[in-house]
C-alpha cells in the first residue's frame, strides 16, 4: 500500500497538514526537536508526526540508545541529530537548531548537517527500545544494523513483518514494510521483565497494553517514555490516543491506571512523562488523572473515551 507523501517521515518538523488534520484537533501540546529542558539528557527527534528520543548510555556520551525509530526508513532525522550531538564543533548553532523545528527549514543548514559524516553514528546507537508496533515508531529500525532492538513479545511479530499492525488504521496500513524490518536479531521482552540494562543505564519496563496489545513504557533517570499510551493536551490534562488508532480503548485506560499504581507501589522515581505525540508533562499530572479516572473506569466499562480522555 502506498503511503501518501503527507504521512512520510523525512521532515524535521511535524508535517503541517498532519498537524492541522489530526494533532491540532486532538488538543495535543506542541513538540519541537532538540534537548528537553524538563528531561535533562534527553533529546527529542521529530519524524513525521511522531517522536524518537536519544539518551546516552555511558558517561563519556559516546554510545546512545533510542526510544523508537521514527517513521523514516532511513532514519535521516535521528542520524542528523546524533551527528550534531556527537560532533559539537560542526553542529548547528542554537538559531539553526530552532530552524530545524520550523516548517520552512533553511536549506543551507539542512545541507550542512547532512554533509556531516554519519557512518560512525550508526554504530554509536547501541539499542532501540520500541514502545509499540506501529509504523510511525518502527520504520527506521533497519537503518541501524548494529543496534539491538528491544520489543515486547506481543508486538515482536509486527516488527519482524509477520503480522499487520493493530488498530483500525494500523490494519489498513498493513505489515511493517520489508525495507524497515531489522536485519539483526530482535530481543523480545518476556512477560514480567521489570528492567533491562543498556550500557551503564538501567531501564525500567512497564506493560501498558491497549493502544497495541504489547505496548511498553520505559523509565530511566526520572523520565517515563510512554509511546502512544497517552498524550498531554493543551488544557493541562491527559488524553488517550483515539480509538481509530488503538486496539482496545478500555484496556488502554486500565493499563494506564495500573501503570501509575505500579510506579507508586514500587517506589520508582519518575518525575517527567514523555509521550510520542505531544510535549512532556509531569508525573503528578498523570497521578491526578489516575485519581479521577480510576473510580469511574470500573463503573462504566463501555465508555472509556468519554470518561477518561479529558
For the chain, domains (ranges, CATH) are 5-308 (3.60.15.10)
Residue 121 φ then ψ, to 5°: -65, -40
Residue 14 has a CB neighbour count (10 Å cut-off) of 25
| Band of residue 21 on the pLDDT scale cut at 50, 70, 90 | low
Q: What is the pLDDT of residues 173-216, one digit of tens each?
A: 889 999 999 987 799 998 889 999 999 999 999 999 999 999 99
Residue 269 has a CB neighbour count (10 Å cut-off) of 12
How large is the average pLDDT for residues 77-93? Answer: 75
Which of helix, strand or coil describes residue 190? coil
Which of helix, strand or coil describes residue 145? coil
Alpha-carbon distances, residue 284 vs 30, 263, 273 (angstroms): 20, 12, 9
Residue 100 φ then ψ, to 5°: -70, -10
Residues with Cβ within 8 Å of 101's Cβ and at least 6 positions away in sequence, in order, are 12, 13, 32, 33, 34, 46
Q: Are 84 and 96 in contact, with CB atoms under 8 Å apart?
A: no
> What is the torsion angle, in degrees rounded to the nearest 10, for the CA atoms of residue 283, residue 289, residue 291 and residue 296?
-150
Which of helix, strand or coil describes residue 26? helix
How large is the average pLDDT for residues 117-145? Answer: 85
Q: How many Cα neighbours within 13 Å face the side chain of 152?
A: 21
Alpha-carbon distances, residue 290 vs 274, 297, 298 (angstroms): 17, 10, 12
Whether pLDDT at 167 is above 60 = yes
| Band of residue 119 on the pLDDT scale cut at 50, 70, 90 | low
Q: Are 92 and 112 in contact, with CB atoms under 8 Å apart?
A: yes
Q: In this prediction, what percent of the chain has a pLDDT beyond 90?
A: 54
How large is the average pLDDT for residues 48-62? Answer: 91
Residues with Cβ within 8 Å of 92's Cβ and at least 6 positions away in sequence, in order, are 84, 99, 100, 109, 112, 113
Residues with Cβ within 8 Å of 41's Cβ and at least 6 positions away in sequence, in order, are 55, 56, 221
Q: Are 251 and 241 in contact, with CB atoms under 8 Å apart?
A: no
Range of lowest pLDDT (20-29, 129-138, 150-159, 272-281):
20-29
Q: What is the pLDDT of residue 161?
A: 92
Range of lowest pLDDT (28-32, 79-83, 245-249, 299-303):
299-303
Amino acid at each position: 500500500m502506498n503511503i501518501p507523501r503527507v504521512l512520510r517521515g523525512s521532515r524535521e518538523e511535524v508535517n503541517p497538514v498532519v498537524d492541522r488534520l489530526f494533532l491540532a484537533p486532538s488538543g495535543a501540546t506542541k513538540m519541537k526537536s532538540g534537548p528537553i529542558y524538563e528531561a535533562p539528557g534527553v533529546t527529542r527527534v521529530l519524524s513525521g508526526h511522531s517522536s524518537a528520543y536519544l539518551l546516552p548510555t555511558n558517561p563519556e556520551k559516546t554510545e546512545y540508545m533510542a526510544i523508537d525509530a521514527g517513521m523514516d526508513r532511513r532514519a535521516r532525522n535521528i542520524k542528523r541529530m546524533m551527528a550534531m550531538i556527537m560532533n559539537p564543533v560542526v553542529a548547528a548553532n542554537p538559531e539553526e537548531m530552532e530552524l530545524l523545528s520550523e516548517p520552512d527549514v533553511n536549506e543551507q543548514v539542512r545541507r550542512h548537517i547532512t554533509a556531516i559524516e554519519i557512518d560512525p553514528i550508526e554504530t554509536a546507537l547501541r539499542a532501540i527500545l520500541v514502545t509499540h508496533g506501529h509504523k510511525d515508531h518502527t520504520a527506521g529500525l533497519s537503518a541501524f544494523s548494529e543496534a539491538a532492538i528491544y520489543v515486547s513479545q506481543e508486538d515482536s511479530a509486527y516488527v519482524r513483518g509477520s503480522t499487520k499492525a493493530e488498530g483500525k488504521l494500523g490494519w489498513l496500513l498493513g505489515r511493517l514494510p520489508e525495507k524497515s524490518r531489522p536485519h539483526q536479531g530482535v530481543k523480545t521482552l518476556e512477560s514480567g521483565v521489570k528492567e533491562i540494562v543498556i550500557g551503564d543505564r538501567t531501564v525500567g519496563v512497564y506493560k501498558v497494553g491497549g493502544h497495541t496489545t504489547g505496548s511498553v513504557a520505559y523509565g530511566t533517570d526520572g523520565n517515563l517514555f510512554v509511546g502512544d499510551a497517552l498524550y498531554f493536551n493543551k488544557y493541562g490534562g491527559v488524553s488517550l490516543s483515539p480509538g481509530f488508532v488503538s486496539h482496545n480503548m478500555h484496556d488502554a485506560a486500565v493499563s494506564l491506571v495500573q501503570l501509575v499504581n505500579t510506579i507508586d507501589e514500587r517506589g520508582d522515581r519518575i518525575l517527567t512523562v514523555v509521550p510520542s505525540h505531544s510535549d512532556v508533562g509531569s508525573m503528578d499530572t498523570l497521578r491526578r488523572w489516575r485519581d479521577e479516572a480510576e473510580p469511574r473506569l470500573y463503573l462504566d466499562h463501555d465508555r472509556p473515551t468519554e470518561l477518561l480522555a479529558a
